[in-house]
Chains A and B, each alone.
Chain A
Amino acid sequence: MLLLLPLTIPVFGAGLILAFHNPRAATRTALVLGGVEIAALGAVVWQVHAHGELQQGRYLRADGLSAFFLMGIAIVSGLVLIYASGYLRHMGEGRFSSPRWFYALVFLFLFTMISVCLSANLGLLWIMMEGTTLASALLVGFYNTEGAVEAGWKYLIVCTVGIAFALFGTIVLYLAAVKAGIHPASALDWVSLMDAAPRLRLDPHLVKLAFVFVIVGYGTKIGFVPMHSWLPDAHAEAPTPISALLSAVLLNCAMYALMRYDAIVSRSVGPAFPHVLLLIFGVMSMVVAGLLILVQRNLKRLMAYSSIEHMGIIAIGLGLGGPLGLFGALLHVFNHSVAKSLLFFSAGNVRHNLGTLRIDEIQGISRTMPQTTAALLVGGLAIVGLPPFSLFISEFAILSEAFAQARYLVVTLFLMVLSVVFGGFAFHFFRMLGGEPDRRHENSKLIPSEFIAMGMAALCVLFFGARIPHAFSLLLREAVAVLR
């Protein structure tokens, strides 16, 4: 029953919030419901940690890997809800663009992403993954400006086509499983597929074909180059809290799906084939996004390309495999989502105060917005992977695994991209932070909700850089154990 709780709360919550026409009441309801939802997710994570995997009926299941991703969802969605409560204060009452619609859609979006992590069945996982696109498309186009409508349409079309390929891959895997003698009713269950994976070896072509379609399909949602075209647009045009949710939760959920398939395919036809594909997509995403970071003119597009780069890093960790590679990849999933939320929150503040996100129009914010500047600095230094921040540890783990496997080409490209990205971020940030501020803008401080959200994210980035708590590393180890 415990697994049904985090799924029912957001659905009923979405309906409940729509009943509140007063923006303040809607916001308060959303915060309370968010708190309850996080508690429910926490209970699931705790149960999995204490008693092992949970199963509910044939379609819902939570194991160590799900628990790890659910924890990430709980933390980031908590931060986003707190931040949004202040961010939406200027929003008027449009037809579909009022705070109550915003929160209702956010809760539906959360519902789909949580269901992705709780699906025991690969078919259900696909359905919910498509659901994430549907639930978030209206949020991407929320402002209804020309750019937002264009970004929303592009997002909807590109991701739906991409995910259609993932459906085809799922069908091919199903076919291989049925042919290998698994009963059709359970031929899409992840556990029975893992158990029967060695028998799938009878048809290596089918399994490989399935993985190619799945990596292209879910890779579109992850934002792998060259299927990334929707990602910068959607991140830049969506309201800031949504940008943070897209980058820090949605991309991770798609990565989670890919990890599940990778585990099955590695066990049946050997890790060489899927891992080479992951390495190719990972390196390609890293290199292309790293170079594009240099030429960005919009702060949020800069962050979006950085997300593509980090998804590439995670794919490389996954593609290297091995204890350190997987450990680094999963740790990086978590670290990236916290640091990127912090950066998006700061970008949102800049937009609120200066009315623009164009990097060449932002100057001297270190004098007018000292708190936001501090957040941008912490987030920026963390995202380029400098010690003592948490992303350094995960990137270092992935690099050591690459060294241990003597993959020098990967190592070289990895380090080159990291230094290019460092240069790009330093270049953009110095221009924005330094210089003479525009006289028209007064000094501005953070309001409490923004201060809490950004402060918590910054503390998290710093804390996990200093040491990884014991309970967290146990969760991480359980997640790695599921995949191996």
Chain B
Amino acid sequence: MGLVGIATEKILSSFSVFLFLTILLLAVARRISTSVLLFGLQSAIIAAEVFATAFQEKLPEVYIVGALVFLIKVVGIPRAFFLLVKRLKTVRDVKASTTPTQSVFIAAAIIYLSYAAVHSYGGAVHVPDDPLAAAVSLILTGAFLMVSRKKALMQMLGLLVLENGIFLAALITTFGMPLVIEIGIFFDILMGLLLMGIFTFRISDTFEHLDVSKLRRLRG
């Protein structure tokens, strides 16, 4: 077995653990820039997982998907976020509505819940529990970040974490969707982020803050 083969085996057997680690770290991250770095790291782990799958299953199309993940989620999106943070001149705190301790407990509960939820379906799809639980907990963590962090930028980041989870679920259960569809989804994510970026500028222009919990004029 060559070096690449060994690396593939290691990645496939251990990436879930690293993903759980990023989830717990995201829960305690207090700065937006830290969270963005963690998201980049998380995407890098997923990109490695995509390449490993492509190598092991000998699917040339999946290499393209891996390259896209790397370019967009590991390089492009974090850079764009740093640019946004700089240009918006916002306070760097994520404005969490839960304390770090509470957040870690919630993240741990999410991981536990994901294992419980996956357990009943794992047999049906012939996939080991760990990666599937990692995917489900990424989805839940993304949702948790969106509701518990008040900064508009963190809501965007939560959405991206959630999307990472969905992407991972598709990858481990079906080796990904057909390539054309996958590219379309990436395009949608990029356009969505671009629009959200435009809206963060508009929010900071019209309200002079980026705290979306204070956007509550429209009710009823």
Contact = CB atoms under 8 A, between A and B. Distances in A.
A121 B181 contact: yes
A296 B220 contact: yes
A53 interface: no
A160 B196 CA distance: 11
B169 A188 contact: no
A184 B178 contact: yes
Contacts of B37: none
Contacts of A149: 199, 202-203, 206-207
Contacts of B199: 137, 141, 149, 152-153, 156
B65 interface: no
Interface in A125-153: 126-127, 130-131, 133-134, 137-138, 141, 144-147, 149-153
Given A150-B217, A164-B162, A171-B166, A134 B139 contact: no
A413 B178 CA distance: 44
B166 A161 contact: no
Contact of B195 (A126, A147, A156, A296): A156
A188 B188 contact: no
Contacts of A2: none
A89 B192 CA distance: 30
Nearest to A237: B218
Nearest to B174: A175
Contacts of A167: 166, 185
Interface of A is mostly: helix
B188 A127 contact: yes
Contacts of B220: 232, 292, 295-297, 301
Contact of A157 (B121, B155, B173): B155
B25 interface: no
Interface string A188-229: 100000000000000101100100000000000000000000
B143 A161 contact: yes
A233 interface: yes
Contacts of B177: 123, 171, 174, 188
A333 interface: no
A178 interface: yes
B166 A134 contact: no
Interface residues of B, number: 39
B173 A168 contact: no
Contacts of B4: none
A146 B202 CA distance: 9
Nearest to B182: A123
A153 B155 CA distance: 11
A209 B192 contact: no
B198 interface: yes
A168 B166 contact: yes
B198 A138 contact: yes
Given A145-B206, A153-B215, A209 B178 contact: no
Interface string B208-220: 0000100101101
B89 to A, nearest CB: 18
A478 to B, nearest CB: 28
Contact of B192 (A130, A171, A184): A130
A174 B171 CA distance: 12
A240 B213 CA distance: 27
B159 interface: yes
A156 B200 CA distance: 12
Given A127-B184, A144-B206, A151 B218 contact: yes
Interface string A109-134: 00000000000010110110011011
A134 B188 contact: yes
B173 A171 contact: yes
B1 interface: no
B188 A131 contact: yes
A173 B170 CA distance: 11
A236 interface: yes
A154 interface: yes
A203 B202 CA distance: 47
A185 interface: yes
Contacts of A301: 220
B174 A153 contact: no
B124 A161 contact: no
Contacts of B163: 164
A123 B178 contact: yes
B133 to A, nearest CB: 15
A137 B125 CA distance: 37
A299 to B, nearest CB: 14
Contacts of B159: 157, 160-161, 164
Contacts of A133: 192
B169 A168 contact: yes
A310 B39 CA distance: 41
Contact of B178 (A188, A206, A295): A188
A185 B177 CA distance: 9
Contact of B139 (A127, A141, A168, A295): A168
Given A130-B192, A138-B198, 11 more contacts: A127-B181, A146-B217, A150-B217, A154-B215, A156-B192, A156-B199, A157-B155, A184-B174, A184-B178, A205-B124, A297-B220
Interface of A: 59, 121, 123-124, 126-127, 130-131, 133-134, 137-138, 141, 144-147, 149-154, 156-157, 160-161, 164, 167-168, 171, 174-175, 178-179, 184-185, 188, 203, 205-206, 209, 232-233, 236-237, 292, 295-297, 301
12 contacts: A59-B180, A123-B178, A127-B187, A127-B188, A150-B217, A153-B203, A156-B196, A175-B125, A175-B174, A188-B177, A232-B220, A297-B220
Question: Nearest 6 CB-CB pairs, A to B?
Answer: A123-B181, A127-B184, A233-B218, A150-B215, A130-B188, A171-B170
